A and B are shown apart, each in its own frame.
Chain A
Amino acid sequence: MAKKSMFDMTPVKGYEKKLEDFFPMERRCSNCLGCKFVPFEKIKSNRFGRNCPSVWHYNFNLYSARGRFQLGQNILEDGSVRFEGQALDAIFNCQACGACDVGCKVTRFNLEPLAHNIALKERAVEKGKAPDALNAVAAQLAKQKTMLPGAKKADRGAWASGLKLKDISVGKETAEYAFFPGCQYAYDKDLQKKAKSYVSVLKKAGVDLGWFGKGDMCCGGRAGQMGFRKEFEAQAQANAVVWKKAGAPKIVTPCSDCYYALKRQYAMLGIEVEVVHAVELIAELIKSGKLKLKKAVDLSITYHDPCRLGRLGEPFEPWDGTEKKILNQVHTWTPARPRYAGTYGIYDAPRDVLAAIPGLRLVEMERVRENSWCCGAGGGCSVFNPEFSDAVASERVTEAQATGAEAIVTACPWCEKNLSGVTSENGTAMPVVDVIDLVAKAL
């Protein structure tokens, strides 16, 4: 296959999959409960053994990946179920966190529950059946280039005032890295301070950093996760145009949602961009001695793996092969098809940064790394169904409190916002901080 350009924009094989293409895997699901529990040998307690927020909260099988496979069959086979009522409720009350995908792929080689769930969302959107709240988010993206309700495009750059970041979008200046803050860091008043902190730390360590100035926009990834494929594609293409004009720099983002969008969702579209999460870069800077953390931070913390930095943050591998049966009935992909089981997500970099902070004590939760419990914000759920989203966050705070830690640390603004202020089952909240908050204290 001829090498494509960085911004070829030709979707890779598999991207164009429609709901009908998933029918074989809907039939091949074996109802093993891998999409309801943490991989069984990794379960550490009955209390924290579950993996899917949706079926954990709603309990009906319909709200599990297994249930959605069955739902897909009902829709495709005989129309016994339509896009209405609890079918729609189950389709959209999914954070697209990918925990079911990991649970499934521990044993199965030819099922893709996450992609299937998104295909269901896409079909519902095509039929005009998306919830009003999500339609509004998609409209906001098209108009204001952000999915945050009420935010204006004109206000997007406020976070960067006073930072003297190079604007590389106009082609006059260049930088090795472009800082891509993401909407939360760009608009939220509290989070803006953290974005500034990231920039300051990176610059202090000598990183050649710029940003896209007025060309800075939403990544659009969340629209794709909500089933708004066209809106996502349009936004990705708009970004690609800006980045190309800026000389296709490496992108560093502190937002795990953006990270996943650029690393995996854009790659599926044929947009190959080199992206690192800011904690990865900071970990490298610490390792190379360019960043030294000297001050002690006397705190006991637990680290929450964001879904889109962790299990969904694996490198994208293009695949162009075929399926065939061997030994009569053994279904195979030739050559071997990438099997995203969460193994190669970004887990060590944030922990390495935290380990480099003197005095800081990390106590792990039961569900970590590829089996991390979602914060609840994904897939548009925090906008569409805050009650559900908060319940999922509360479950995570409960788990964090069980470690005895004093604070939760994370590397995603969506997680930070969703976990902050939410009370556990004991009725108490926990401080939630960003990795950069602790790095800044330790400098």
Chain B
Amino acid sequence: MKNITYNKDFYRALQDIVGERNVSEDPAVTENYRCITAQSSAHYGPYDTRTPKPQAVVLPGSTEEVQQIVRLCNKYKVDFKAASTFWAAMGFIGSDNAIQLDMIRMDNVEIDAKNMIAVCEPFAIGGTVQVEAMKNGLNCNIAGVGCSSSTLAGSAGWVGFGPSSIFMGIASENLLGAEWVLPDGEIIRTGTLGSDGEWFCGEGPGPSPRAIFRGWTGTAGTMGVCTRIAIRLHPWPGPKWIPVRGTAPAYFADGLDNVRAYTVCYPDWDAYAESFRLFYEADICYLAHRQFNMFGRDIKTAMVEIFTHPEKQFCDLPELMEDPYIKEQNEQMKVDVQIVLAGFTERDLDYKEKAFDEILRQVGAHKSEYYLQQDIEDFVKLYLLRLARKNYNYTLCSSYEGNFGLSPNVFVAAPLMEEAAALKREWEQTHTGVAAVGGDSDMGSVSGIGGGGTTGWEFFVHFDGFDKESIYDSCAHIDRTQEWMTEKGLGADFGRWNADVRQPNGYNYTQEQHDSFYSKIPQPALAEYQWKIREAFNPNRLTGSYYKTLTPKEFRDGDNK
């Protein structure tokens, strides 16, 4: 058992490290770093609780300050967690004896245009990394979470696929190295950075603990603090800044003549899946995402109408939904996807257009006429290229949770889509806690890995974060869909991905609780291996329970404290 040793000496030491104005234990500040889990897509369920209150909040300004803080935490056995844009509960602490590091002061972005690399600090968000890259004819993968989130957090700590992953790859593929303060305070610079000070390769010849640090999902901030990363940038054929026209809040991309945005309408899910295979093979897509269906099959076109007309609001939804033209569009777009093509030359764009048309012909799909309207196309271009409006996830009801999580090969996921949609539709009709939007509210990346192969889909469950009935009902719905996922052998529902890493009351799980979970999984040795990794890198177990470990059998019945 760890000592509870947060005290005034510890606080004064923090002040010495970062200066008085950058640390606080005032309750107004510390209460501000508690995540109301119902408000944010935490991927572990919308509970009506808050994560624990940190003892103090500290704002480090450099890697050296982070190192000193971490060493101090080890000395006093105080838990810590670092986060920057705080999208979800995983960024927040999970015990009472803990401090929160807010990385907001570290927001630098450096572009190495020649080598197509961006070096990012934690509070550099996707939106700012991208604008700096575009000035140099380059672009970066922005994860589906949107451009308001930290590039570093997505790249180092979580999954990181999005609309651009088909062309630019996902976060783990783009990570070229990291400056990493280990949980015990040692600083490691991975890959070439650790050898000759350059960022071009994350694997070597310097130290290469990337698999430990990153893996597929990332460690959700449980293995120390990443203070800088380098990511691979990709070609961008557009202007140095995407011109925006329109009046707030209806913004449209302007003048992107070598970029085309289409919405494809399919006759059925088989055609949908086959087209994905062909898209992967043809390698023509710059972005590919099922985006606006996130609002729901019955309202998606009405929602785009609202977003593109600043005078419209949600009270216009019923009338828009009854509009015969809108209804017809929804009918045509029951099974749909948004695709963006970008031409690096006129011939390139011409080729991609022809290949795209041929794929649509082969599968019997067509382009949505609605989305060919200039304003609508320009809205989609801006939306998908910048991913600036990801807060639309919350717009409908103020909260949402992703569920189902149909992320395997498209030929596995697509045949299940209507059954999943029917399950959700039935819930919408028999319960009032979630928004009734037509069942299917599936959305997500066409590509869960660079170039394609897997998908990254989830159904959005829209609920009101102010309304307890809505919170609990949406939670019950995810319980139901988890049952369905289990029946189908599909694993954990998206909404339950993190159910085993933080308790419903917002606190960390204990090792004993984790042992009881992971001793029952099909391959417990995997979690035992992770235990050994964690013990080597994080001997005082100071960064929460998102790292999934099982005490090896030889220690389980003995001293595993």
Contact = CB atoms under 8 A, between A and B. Distances in A.
B397 interface: yes
B375 to A, nearest CB: 15
Given A105-B248, A332-B317, A334-B315, A28 B388 contact: no
Contact of A31 (B27, B39, B311, B386): B39
A86 B131 CA distance: 35
Contact of A74 (B31, B388, B392, B398): B31
A28 B462 CA distance: 12
B436 A41 contact: no
Nearest to B36: A27
Contacts of A32: 148, 390-391, 394
A39 B246 CA distance: 13
Interface string B400-440: 00000000000000000000000000001001111111000
A24 B39 CA distance: 12
Interface in B135-149: 146-148
Given A109-B313, A336-B311, A329 B463 contact: yes
Interface stretch (A56-64, A374-382, A424-432): A56-64
A73 B28 CA distance: 11
Contacts of B463: 329
Nearest to A105: B249
Nearest to B247: A343
B435 A328 contact: yes
A10 interface: no
A328 B436 contact: yes
A106 to B, nearest CB: 4
B310 A343 contact: yes
A30 B131 contact: no
A180 interface: no
Contact of A329 (B127, B128, B433): B433
A80 B27 CA distance: 7
B363 to A, nearest CB: 32
B95 interface: no
B465 interface: yes
Interface in A56-107: 58-62, 67, 70-71, 73-74, 80-81, 85-87, 90, 102, 105-107
B248 A28 contact: no
Q: Which of B124, B317, B466 has the most CB of A within 10 A?
A: B466
Nearest to A311: B248
Contact of B432 (A42, A62, A328): A328
B10 interface: no
A24 B464 CA distance: 10
B248 A59 contact: no
B107 interface: yes
B389 A327 contact: no
Contacts of B394: 30, 32, 107-108
Interface residues of A, number: 62
B337 to A, nearest CB: 22
Contact of B147 (A40, A67, A330, A337): A40
B313 A30 contact: no
Contact of B299 (A33, A110, A327, A335): A327
Contacts of A41: 127, 242, 244, 251, 382, 386, 388-389
B301 interface: no
B311 A331 contact: no
Contacts of B455: none
A116 to B, nearest CB: 14
Nearest to B382: A41
Nearest to B135: A45
Given A45-B128, A59-B105, A62-B29, A31 B395 contact: no
Contact of B391 (A34, A86, A325, A336): A34
Contact of B248 (A27, A39, A62, A333): A39
A37 B148 contact: yes
A51 to B, nearest CB: 12
Contacts of A80: 27, 31
A67 B26 CA distance: 14
Given A39-B248, A81-B31, A334-B315, A107 B310 contact: no
B316 interface: yes
B86 A31 contact: yes
A43 interface: yes
B432 A30 contact: no
A330 B397 contact: yes
Interface residues of B, number: 81
Given A37-B148, A49-B128, A107-B391, A336 B315 contact: yes
Contacts of B395: 107-109
Nearest to A342: B248
B377 interface: no
A334 B314 CA distance: 9
Nearest to B392: A107
A58 B312 CA distance: 36
Given A27-B466, A80-B31, A331 B398 contact: yes
B362 interface: no
A123 interface: no
A43 B470 CA distance: 35
B57 A60 contact: yes
Contact of B32 (A40, A42, A62, A337): A62
A405 interface: no
B123 to A, nearest CB: 10
A42 B244 contact: yes
B475 interface: no
Contact of B435 (A43, A59, A102, A330): A330
Q: Which of A73, A74, A86, A329 has the most CB of B within 10 A?
A: A329
Contacts of A337: 313
A331 B40 contact: no
Nearest to B467: A329
B24 interface: yes
B59 A70 contact: no
Contact of B102 (A59, A70, A329): A59
A163 B392 CA distance: 55
B349 interface: no
A43 B131 contact: yes
12 contacts: A32-B394, A37-B127, A37-B148, A46-B128, A59-B59, A61-B29, A61-B86, A102-B248, A107-B389, A327-B437, A337-B313, A370-B248
Q: Which 10 residue pairs spanning A and B have beta carbons closest together?
A: A40-B388, A28-B398, A87-B28, A30-B394, A32-B391, A46-B128, A107-B391, A41-B388, A86-B26, A27-B466
Interface of A: 23-24, 27-34, 37, 39-46, 49, 58-62, 67, 70-71, 73-74, 80-81, 85-87, 90, 102, 105-110, 325-337, 339, 341-344, 370
Given A39-B251, A86-B28, 7 more contacts: A27-B398, A27-B466, A61-B29, A61-B32, A107-B394, A330-B462, A331-B397
Interface of B: 21-22, 24, 26-29, 31-34, 36, 39-40, 57, 59, 85-87, 102, 104-105, 107-109, 124-125, 127-129, 131-132, 146-148, 241-242, 244, 247-249, 251, 299, 310-318, 382, 386, 388-399, 428, 431-437, 462-467, 470
